[in-house]
Structure 1
Amino acid sequence: VIGTSESYLGGFAGVNLGTIQFAAALGPVTGNGNHDFVGGFVGANFGSIDSSAAAGSASAGANSAVGGFAGANARFINFPAGSIPGSSFPVGTITNSSAGGAASGGAGSTVDPFIALNDPTSASNPPAFPSVVAGCTDQLCGFLNTGILPPGSSSTPFLTDLLASLPGPVQVINNLVGIGPTQLSALNTAPVVNIPQTGGVTLPPQQQRPSPSPGAQNLPPGFDRRIIDIPPLTETNLIKDEAVVHIATATVTVERLRAAVAPLGLEVVASENIAITGSTAVRLRFTDGRTVQDVIRALAGIQFVAVAQPQYVYRLHQQGGDTTPASRGDDSSPKGDPAQYILEKLKISDVHRMVRGTNVTIAVIDSQIDAAHPDLEGVIAQRFSAVGAPEKPHSHGTGMAGAIASHQRLLGTAPGARLLAVHAFSTSAASPESTTFNILKSVDWSVREGARIINMSFAGPKDPSLERVLKLAYDKGIVLIAAAGNAGAKSPPLYPGADPNVIAVTATDAEDKLFTGANRGKYISVAAPGVEILVPAPEGEYQITTGTSVAAAEVSGIVALLLERNPKLTPADIRRILQMSAKRLGTGERNDNFGSGLIDPLQALQLADPRTATTTPP
């Protein structure tokens, strides 16, 4: 932004009377003459500005007010409070905002890294405003000269007529999550006013008024609204120096994003095309000590960013034990190991006489799976690494795959299933963990590879990107299974288990008692054996494991049996069948400990029979 003498210049607005939230100004602002009010974000603010940022430098000549964020934060006299609905006008307020650029001015100037003049008096002799509109007759000029708003009938009475009457571009800022009132920011993008020495007013050529929703055309097909996810300060399950954004793959390039975020001090680390949403997910990193919250607020100002959120972290919490040898069974016709109490409890032998989950594809999003284990021989159909680095097979991923598809010394719930082994959890940290970015890649790949079921034996915070991707997968008919979580009775709901499109599984022991470490809540759907379960371990070994992770894997196998019996079942059908057929534990039809109760594969298969089953939409 460049202007001459006697001007109000700002990277986002020359003058603000209304309300601005979650906005950013990136470029430099320069006053080439004298007596300018110059700010990296706004020249003069008489309204409300919140959670916004300026990244460019601000400079001016002699006798100017120059601030890294605002030249002046001021007030109009003779205007009552509430003159502009939703704004602090006539008193300027700037909250939760920041400036990153330098400020400089000529002789006699007032210069400050943030606000040059805060509530200045008339002695500061500001440039002429609002006299620049003294001679016009439209409604905005009338308001500035008289303080009287035109009458109207809507909740923002003067908004429609006022916007239509404005002589220059107007920025209308909508609530970033698509709800709430529209807020007026009059004159936020007003043209620079030049006052010639001969007097009078000269306005530069007017531009076409922008759309009220400047980012709407850049929404990817998979998102129906813009998402700005600012986590509470108490949220710790995130990477402190990273953020994740989505841009529309069809209309916005990564290079365009790179150029836009560079002035904000952000570096593009990696990007991935997420086909199911039509978006490109991008990892951004910052190293200047800012909080994730501040960075996301700044990203909100880039209108083509469809989603801005933290890089959330998910962990595997399964309780493992020592490796143990398994009893030798008859490998030619596997019946499982005597230590597998699940086989008798769920009548697995009777079930497998009818169905074995043959050729039903299950994606297992987990740590590295040992495909060479004898019990997993031939069951891995495809492999994918979201981690991007080779790692040794891990006990958790190998155990979950075995709970589903073991077929030698052990017997999984669906020994005929085809597994998609998705390496999303890295073991390079103290405990295996994954991120928003890697799980998004994993779910998207699983959908493209034709998974009928996605097993997610992990838990973590609510994540808007993951929520959207799972909804789209659900709408495609994919059954989503997740662990309820092992954080105990007092834990808040954990995700993705608590997602409404996901079937959350809790764990019980050999006596149908609840695993003491399991989460509780209304999102629990069903229970499955999950205490002291014998499963494969890397390098041909076996292990005893406990938790809701292995219970979820068992249910994924049971769902494969149902889909073999009736491939037309929808995710809604599967949930209904599992819950209706479950053995009630505790009181009532369901409760927050066990959900609808312990899974019963034989009863579920009867309800899934295509001769009697009724299907419902997803």
Structure 2
Amino acid sequence: MRRAASTPEQAQNELVAIGLDEDAIAGLTQEGFAVEDRIQVSLIGSEMVRLIVPAGTTLDSARAAVVARSATAVVDLNHFYQPQSENKAGCSGEGCALVREIVGWPTSEITRCAKPPRIGLIDTAINIDHVTLTNTRLEVIRLSEGEATKSGAQHGTAVAALLIGASDSRVPGLLPGAELIAVDAFQRSGKSADIANIYDLVRALDMLVQRDVKVVNLSLTGPANAVLEKSVKAATESGMILVAAAGNDGPNAKPVYPAAYDEVIAVTAVDKGRNPYRRAVRGDYIDIAAPGVGVWTAASISGARQKTGTSFAAPFITAAVSVLIAGDPDMSHESLEAKIRQFTDDIGKPGKDPVFGWGLLNASRLCESISDTKPSAL
């Protein structure tokens, strides 16, 4: 979704820092800062601290004060990130087709030809009692314990079902039978917006690294952030593959993150006619396209409905990557990029372009990829 006018871009009086030592923290406390929370982040090998800035101090001035205490610390605002779905009515009932057909997603249960590695998801709450998700290999970890701020289940349920929904349900997942560890890092803001702050996103990413998750779906976007950037680099250096939504702010919007980081696979959306989704962000960081308009998946309480947005294109690539690395979980990012390019149709300008990236996913030969060692044809 596009950021609602009433939803701020960051916490009004908070900073997040990595790499502060005890002397620096003690000095900041004397200056009027308060430590709201702190946690050791194994992913980075350092402590992450959430600071409340002194009353009357601007965030820029507060950040400068923290840097003055520790020039090597990574410090930024506690930015907010949101899911990337559009509230657009679609069809309902049995007449809705599975748009996965436009990329040739195998109709038979694809997990028969490969055992995908453990998949991670950082998203909103998930309705684990939805019929599509019963008897699936789903684990949900919630970061916030307060009921008053519990995030909505619409987005997370839809993405989880698209990934691993039961094969015999109305909305079969792309990888039914795969194991999914989902971290609910979001909280409700206002009446309907769900937001995740940087502090919780890094916590969620760290949890998934500790659980030996190989591929993570990030159907969320927000601004560039130094703490997020450092965490993304650390995660990918550990061998994790991050797949993120390109964003729904419009074709002329500025880049959004984490998709725009070089280490992340940025996924844009197309409709059934293979036309670009009208609200998808465009840019040189776009890597690949997948179906994201009118995607048939689970509704939050029961049943199913169409969903639109780059949020629902990202799971196609998360699933495809999981199959591609099934036979080689330690595949390098360079090798993976070359492999992905073998499974795209170049539907835009020749080569990589800012609308479709390398092109539209072609999943029809995914099962062959397990033993396919031929060089890229692109």
Fold shared by both chains (TM-score > 0.5): yes
Q: What is the aligned counterpart of 2:269 among 482, 507, 512?
A: 507
C-alpha change, 1:378 and 1:357, in structure 2 (3 Å) is farther
SS of residue in 2 equivalent to 1:283: strand
Matched, 1:541 2:313: no
2:208 corresponds in structure 1 to: 446
Query: How many percent identity over aligned positions?
Result: 26
**In structure 2, C-alpha distance between the alignment counterparts of 1:385 and 1:375, rounded to whole Å:** 20
SS of residue in 2 equivalent to 1:472: helix
Q: What is the aligned counterpart of 2:231 among 469, 484, 488?
A: 469
**In structure 2, C-alpha distance between the alignment counterparts of 1:321 and 1:555, rounded to whole Å:** 23
* Shift, 1:295, TM fit: 0.3
Answer whether contact 1:584 1:596 (CA < 8 A) is retained. Answer: yes
SS of residue in 2 equivalent to 1:492: coil
Deviation larger for 474-483 or 345-354: 345-354
* Shift, 1:313, TM fit: 1.3
Give the residue type in structure 2 aligned to 1:265.
G
1:561 corresponds in structure 2 to: 323
2:37 corresponds in structure 1 to: 270
Q: How do 1:173-188 residues align onto structure 2 when only pairs under 5 Å count?
A: none
* Shift, 1:413, TM fit: 1.5
Q: Which has the higher contact order (CA 8 A, sep 6+)?
A: 2
CA-to-partner distance for each residue in 1:269-304, whole Å, 9 max, x for gaps?
111211111111111113523211000111122137
Matched, 1:341 2:102: no
Answer whether contact 1:312 1:436 (CA < 8 A) is retained. Answer: yes
2:186 corresponds in structure 1 to: 425
- How many residue pairs get aligned? The number is 364
Q: How do 1:109-124 residues align onto structure 2 when only pairs under 5 Å count?
A: none
Give the residue type in structure 2 aligned to 1:547.
G
**In structure 2, C-alpha distance between the alignment counterparts of 1:304 and 1:595, rounded to whole Å:** 38
Give the residue type in structure 1 aligned to 2:47.
T
**In structure 2, C-alpha distance between the alignment counterparts of 1:353 and 1:394, rounded to whole Å:** 27
CA-to-partner distance for each residue in 1:431-459, whole Å, 9 max, x for gaps?
11111101000100011011110110011
C-alpha change, 1:240 and 1:305, in structure 2 (3 Å) is farther
SS of residue in 1 equivalent to 2:312: helix
| Gap runs ≥5 in structure 2 | 1-7
* Shift, 1:499, TM fit: 0.6
SS of residue in 2 equivalent to 1:443: helix
1:521 corresponds in structure 2 to: 283
**In structure 1, C-alpha distance between the alignment counterparts of 2:19 and 2:301, rounded to whole Å:** 42
CA-to-partner distance for each residue in 1:94-147, whole Å, 9 max, x for gaps?
xxxxxxxxxxxxxxxxxxxxxxxxxxxxxxxxxxxxxxxxxxxxxxxxxxxxxx
Deviation larger for 574-583 or 545-554: 574-583
**In structure 2, C-alpha distance between the alignment counterparts of 1:473 and 1:379, rounded to whole Å:** 27
**In structure 2, C-alpha distance between the alignment counterparts of 1:528 and 1:356, rounded to whole Å:** 22
* Shift, 1:572, TM fit: 2.8
| Gap runs ≥5 in structure 1 | 1-235, 328-337
Q: How do 1:173-572 residues align onto structure 2 when only pairs under 5 Å count?
A: 237-247=9-19, 252-253=21-22, 256-286=23-53, 288-303=55-70, 306-321=73-88, 326-327=93-94, 339-350=96-107, 352=109, 355=112, 358=115, 360-390=117-147, 391=150, 394-407=153-166, 408-429=169-190, 430-572=192-334
Give the residue type in structure 2 aligned to 1:396.
H
SS of residue in 1 equivalent to 2:293: coil
* Shift, 1:577, TM fit: 1.8
SS of residue in 2 equivalent to 1:363: strand
C-alpha change, 1:514 and 1:356, in structure 2 (3 Å) is farther
Deviation larger for 272-281 or 506-515: 272-281
Give the residue type in structure 1 aligned to 2:273.
E
The root-mean-square deviation of aligned C-alpha atoms, in Å, is 2.4
CA-to-partner distance for each residue in 1:78-101, whole Å, 9 max, x for gaps?
xxxxxxxxxxxxxxxxxxxxxxxx
**In structure 1, C-alpha distance between the alignment counterparts of 2:113 and 2:132, rounded to whole Å:** 15
C-alpha change, 1:609 and 1:357, in structure 2 (3 Å) is closer
* TM-score, scaled to structure 2: 0.89
CA-to-partner distance for each residue in 1:560-588, whole Å, 9 max, x for gaps?
22233443433332222222320111221
C-alpha change, 1:405 and 1:501, in structure 2 (3 Å) is same
CA-to-partner distance for each residue in 1:22-81, whole Å, 9 max, x for gaps?
xxxxxxxxxxxxxxxxxxxxxxxxxxxxxxxxxxxxxxxxxxxxxxxxxxxxxxxxxxxx
CA-to-partner distance for each residue in 1:398-421, whole Å, 9 max, x for gaps?
111111111222122211211111
**In structure 2, C-alpha distance between the alignment counterparts of 1:270 and 1:568, rounded to whole Å:** 35
SS of residue in 2 equivalent to 1:319: coil
**Which protein shows a greater Rg?**
1
CA-to-partner distance for each residue in 1:582-615, whole Å, 9 max, x for gaps?
0111221221101111101134544x33452579
Give the residue type in structure 1 aligned to 2:309.
G
C-alpha change, 1:509 and 1:263, in structure 2 (3 Å) is same
* Shift, 1:553, TM fit: 1.4
Give the residue type in structure 2 aligned to 1:424.
A
Answer whether contact 2:294 2:308 (CA < 8 A) is retained. Answer: yes
**In structure 2, C-alpha distance between the alignment counterparts of 1:511 and 1:323, rounded to whole Å:** 16
Answer whether contact 1:258 1:267 (CA < 8 A) is retained. Answer: no
2:4 corresponds in structure 1 to: none
